[in-house]
Each structure stands twice: as structure tokens, then as C-alpha cells.
Homo-oligomer: A and B are copies of this chain.
Amino acid sequence: MIRVQREDFDIGAELDALTVGRTDIGGLANFVGLVRDFVGKDKAIGADVAALTLEHYPGMTEKRLADIEAEANARWPLAASLIIHRYGRMMPGERIVMVACAAAHREDAFAACQFLMDWLKTSAPFWKQEDTPDGPRWVEADTKDDALAARWKK
């Protein structure tokens, strides 16, 4: 299941809904992305971020997320999967994205969850703008994310 929404989400409630009544799930891997208050690798050297605004492409964003989720389900035997991605303005500490994958075995759940995050980062139409002391700044794509996504190429 995929959802693109402005509102925050409740991780515990979402995970419970994913696994409730199921007895075939051995492992549930989950990733949550949050707004950090600094840019780059290191808080000590990075600029401050006061807020983050996520822009998306209504229609294509949902389509891409559904495609990515279908690809994960084709590659790994998943019992359940979920992608929630927010858009709009968010403050540091707020949740941006959540990906969860449930499977009989933990390796499948972990691998699918990382795959979804890597692909989502490099192919789902979202763009981040940060409010910094120098004004708003569009986040540039990170080549490291391309490298992380490339490891899943078959």
C-alpha cells in the first residue's frame, strides 16, 4: 500500500495495521526518515535548517511509488508492504517518510525495505527545499544515493 499525504502518520498504528491477525510474518523491517536540523554529513560543519518543504508531482509520485512497491514485491516474498511519504512544510524532528516490509524471514524484510528507500530516493518525484540562514535552498541530489540505488540493478 502507498500513501502520499500532507498529514503526519502514527508509526505504531501503521505497523499494527500491517501485521494484525497475521501469523505468517517472522520479520518486520521499518524505516522512518525525519527532518534533520543540519545540512550534509556533519552537524558541526553543516548549515542550520529551520524547516523543510517537500514538493511533489501529484499523479506521477503515486504512480512511481506504486511501481517501486510492486517491484519490491516481485523481488522478495513479502507478506505486506507500506510506503507513506509526506509533502508540504515540516519542522526539524518531524517524520517525512515511512517504509515497512513484512516477510517470513528477516533478510527479505530488510533487503526489501532498503531497496524501497534507495529507489524512492532516486526515482520518486519529490524535491526538498530547506530554509537556511542564507535563505531557501533546493537540496541537490546526492551521488551517494545513486550509488546505493545502483546496487539493486539486476
Point out the residues of chain B lying under 8 angstroms from A36, CB to CB: 23-26, 104
A31 contacts B29, C-beta separation under 8 Å = yes
Question: How many chain A residues have a CB neighbour from B under 8 Å?
Answer: 39
Per the bound structure, the CA–CA distance linking A30 and B28 in Å amounts to: 8
A1-18 vs B: 1/0 string, CB under 8 Å? 000000000111101100
Contact with B along A22-40 (1 / 0, CB 8 A): 1111111111111111100
Residues of B within 8 A of A28 (CB): 31-34
Residue A93 CB within 8 A of the other chain: yes
A24-B41 contact in complex given A36-B104, A114-B110, C-beta closer than 8 Å: no
